Amino acid sequence: MMGAKIGRGAVVHPSVEIWAPWNLEMGDFAAIGPHVDCYSVDKVTLGPGSVVSQYVHLCTATHDYTSRDLPLRTAPIAVGKEAWICTGAFLGPGVQVGEGAVVGARSSVHKGVVNPGLWLVEILRGSSKNAALKPGSSATCTS
């Protein structure tokens, strides 16, 4: 696939858009679902058995808005073994998702490392904050 490194049994849905396939590396049995936007200006690595669900945006580039000429800034994205990026999530430049971690549907992850557990974005009184859910627990959002 035009320079991408694709592991044994890995699946890429035909509707996926990959900006620079040579910057994509997928481990064995990794999967990218329908309508994923893989803006791979920098490297995107998906570990073995990881799943990127439909309508996810993997974005390895941004612009430095503090500089008048808005230079492009890039950083790789890494998704660990058996991690799951759920429907409609956004992963920004430099994000690392740990082995077995789950990024919840419609979440936005802009920096740092996501460790195992379920991560989502909670909206509380008009502001966003990251919240971790332990398996078996539940969360409610109040306004």
Q: Does any domain span residue 143? A: no
C-alpha dihedral sign at 118, 122, 128, 129: negative
Total domains, the chain: 1
Q: Does any domain span residue 140? A: no
**What tens-digit pLDDT sequence spans the chain (143 residues)?**
789 999 999 999 999 999 999 999 999 999 999 999 999 999 999 999 999 999 999 999 999 999 999 999 999 999 999 999 999 999 999 999 999 988 989 999 987 767 776 555 443 334 444 444 444 443 333 32
> Could you tell me the pTM of the whole model?
0.81
Please choose, from the candidates 16, 40, 21, 50, the residue with its C-alpha nearest in 3D space to the C-alpha of residue 93.
Answer: 40
Q: Does any domain span residue 141? A: no
Q: Does any domain span residue 142? A: no
Pairing type for strands 57-59 and 102-103 reads unpaired
Which residue range forms the structural domain that includes residue 12? 5-133
- Give the domain CATH number at 19: 2.160.10.10
Question: In sequence order, which residues have a C-beta less than 8 Å from that of residue 72 and are 6 or more positions away?
Answer: 41, 61, 62, 63
Q: Does any domain span residue 64? A: yes
